Structure 1
Amino acid sequence: METKEAISQLEYGKPPWVFKGSALYQLHLVKAETARAFIPKEFKLVEAFGYTLGGFFLANYEDSPAGIFDELVVIAGIVWNPPTSCAWAARVLVNSDKACAHGRKDVGLPSQVANFTKKVTAVTGTKKGGFGNFLSKISMKDCPSTSKNCIDIQVKEMNNHTTINMCSINLSSSVTKPQDDSKKWMGPAIKISLPSFSGRTEYNPHLLKYCCEIECRLRAVSAARVSGPGPCTFDKDKDTKEEYQRNLSIAVMLSKPLLAVEFNSLKMKVEAPTVVSQ
């Protein structure tokens, strides 16, 4: 059972909150023991043979209540919520103080401010039909026509005026000029609903459920390559809670990819969360 509760909207205005842009959603096989470290004991993890479905959601918003910003949502896994299932976010990284405050207080997300550094390099032998339109939305609009490029997105978490390497995400594509995007097939127009659980954080102790209603053009693409900062330790006794969860989030990002889909012409409506009763 769920009950409606007034959630602070601060400077974001009244829900639903609308975000427009483009995104990459990549599903990974995540070890169940890794996912369980993030998920409250009340929930049953959807798993098979010791693995669950996690991954990440990488988005570039051109229009939102917080303006233009980038977001990386690390998804720990899927929990069972009859008659369906919901995703659980292990960590949310955004390069916007306003978006971080909203995620923490209004949606109960484990949000952190991060720096997204994007570097474009020319490559050879890149397959066509990869992340063409998605790349053109994330600062690659000046690439020459039909050039083959890749972009490395270095994500660094900002913590007490220090930067901590999280991961590097490599996207490759045969990129065309922006005016050529209209000629490319970006997949069918669809509407989907992505329910998620959140909360149980120091900023929002409630257990929450919220829903993202998405309208977009969807197409399958080749998986992005993710690399980490180096070997990560998982020692509860030696690491602080923050270090432990950060390293586990990196482990989720480095897990085996299964499927990647590109969201173009993305319009996402996020409803105000509801408090889940015990």
Structure 2
Amino acid sequence: MEVAAETKTTTGYGKPPWRFTGRAVYQLHLVKSEVARALIPKDFRLVEAFGYTLGGFFLANYDHSPAGVFDELVVIAGIVWNPPTSCAWASKVLVNSNEACFHGRREVGLPSHVARFTKRLAADTGRRESRVNRFLNMIGFGPATAGLRFRMDTQVTKITVPTPVTEEFSINLLSPAPEENSKMWLGPRIKLSLPSFSGRTEYNPNLLKYSCQMECRVRVIRPLKIFRSSPTTDIGAEEQAVENQNSSSTNQAMEKTKDYRRRLSLSVMLSNPILALEFNCMNMNVENPLIISQ
């Protein structure tokens, strides 16, 4: 049982669009197609090439939102195709706000869970910044972590009742540490739209589509380093265990299925990164989801 305020209403969110401000990192990974297919509904066809699709994560620190100040980690399993467009599909959403968790589940159809975000400064052991990297940083295209003395180590752990560590979703992300009075250029100001599908959950069975309209300063940064906090388990072995469940043990089979999906989401996080974008001075409006099908 998770620590989530299921009895709390979402009146604090008010009417859409819901406005968020803060800072975020959007990192794209090459995710194996078989991993992504196991996490998306059968309604969709996966956008893939050579056995891979584009997944990754969205890590945000909101300093203002309808739910107040909170952090969010969205695990993106892949890109799905539903004519005439393609959208991202989130396999897991972790937030350190009960109200944000409840709203995400009920109103947006997201697989939201309450989590603990633990942050600490870590020394940057990276190589010394070169002249080329310094110039690229000035124009917003360099590895932004190269010249920093410290980086932020963020540990994200899903909150559940006391269980072994292997039953939790726990992961560390090493990102650039924000510097006060920094003169580093934050990149050009742009407007973009991030369309997504959601739903098909126990809290919202409808298939939904929504978009995040964003205005921010954006620059390319070095991909965040990601470390798994729990022991590695073979995904194939987990899948076989789920398939071999006896039909009479329904509850046990459901728990193993949830655990298998959790391990697949970890696999997405630990896949190969190809691009990381940092969003600063971010203003984001989330539109009211539209029901695609029931």
Q: TM above 0.5, one fold?
A: yes
Larger radius of gyration: 2
Which residue matches 1:65? 66
Whole-angstrom distance in 2 between the partners of 1:147 and 1:222 = 12
Kindly state the Cα deviation for residue 277 of structure 1 after the two structures are TM-superposed: 2.7
Q: Which deviations, in whole Å up to 9, do the C-alpha atoms of 1:214-268 show, x marking residues without a partner?
A: 0000100000011112213332435612211111110000000000000000011
Q: Which deviations, in whole Å up to 9, do the C-alpha atoms of 1:31-90 show, x marking residues without a partner?
A: 111111111111110000110000000000000000000000000000012232100001
Give the 3 Å change call, closer, same or farther, for CA 197–50 of structure 1 in structure 2: same
* Stretch moving more, 245-254 or 223-232: 223-232
Kindly state the Cα deviation for residue 12 of structure 1 after the two structures are TM-superposed: 1.3
More strand by share: 1
The 8 Å contact of residues 131 and 171 in structure 1, kept in 2 or not, is answered as: no
> How many positions carry a matched residue from both structures?
254
Which residue matches 2:225? 225
Which residue matches 2:4? none
Whole-angstrom distance in 2 between the partners of 1:147 and 1:274 = 43
Paired residue secondary structure (1:159)? coil
Normalising by structure 1, we get a TM-score of: 0.86
Q: Which deviations, in whole Å up to 9, do the C-alpha atoms of 1:164-192 show, x marking residues without a partner?
A: 2421111246x64x223xx3211111000
Whole-angstrom distance in 2 between the partners of 1:59 and 1:171 = 12
The 8 Å contact of residues 148 and 176 in structure 2, kept in 1 or not, is answered as: no
Which residue matches 2:216? 216
Which residue matches 2:119? 118
Kindly state the Cα deviation for residue 161 of structure 1 after the two structures are TM-superposed: 5.2
Whole-angstrom distance in 1 between the partners of 2:199 and 2:278 = 27
Identity of aligned residues (%): 55
Which residue matches 2:173? 169
Whole-angstrom distance in 1 between the partners of 2:262 and 2:15 = 32
Q: Gaps (5+ residues) in structure 2?
A: 1-8, 138-142, 243-254
Give the 3 Å change call, closer, same or farther, for CA 126–84 of structure 1 in structure 2: farther
Which residue matches 2:22? 21
For residues 73-112 of structure 1, what are the structure 2 equivalents within 5 Å?
A: 73-112=74-113
Kindly state the Cα deviation for residue 10 of structure 1 after the two structures are TM-superposed: 3.9
Matching of residue 179 in structure 1 with residue 185 in structure 2: no
Q: Gaps (5+ residues) in structure 1?
A: 1-7, 133-145
Normalising by structure 2, we get a TM-score of: 0.81
Give the 3 Å change call, closer, same or farther, for CA 43–147 of structure 1 in structure 2: closer
Which residue matches 1:201? 201
Kindly state the Cα deviation for residue 126 of structure 1 after the two structures are TM-superposed: 5.3
For residues 119-138 of structure 1, what are the structure 2 equivalents within 5 Å?
A: 119-124=120-125, 125=127, 127=129, 129=137, 130-131=143-144
Which residue matches 2:281? 265
* Stretch moving more, 82-91 or 121-130: 121-130
Paired residue secondary structure (2:159)? strand
Matching of residue 148 in structure 1 with residue 149 in structure 2: yes
Paired residue secondary structure (1:59)? strand
Kindly state the Cα deviation for residue 9 of structure 1 after the two structures are TM-superposed: 5.1
Kindly state the Cα deviation for residue 149 of structure 1 after the two structures are TM-superposed: 0.7
Which residue matches 1:137? none
AA matched with 1:260 = A
AA matched with 1:201 = T
AA matched with 1:53 = L
Matching of residue 53 in structure 1 with residue 54 in structure 2: yes
1:250 counterpart (266, 275, 282): 266
**C-alpha RMSD of the superposition:** 2.0
After TM superposition, which residue ranges in structure 1, 4 or more long, deviate above 4 angstroms?
Answer: 126-132
Whole-angstrom distance in 2 between the partners of 1:43 and 1:242 = 21
* Stretch moving more, 81-90 or 208-217: 81-90
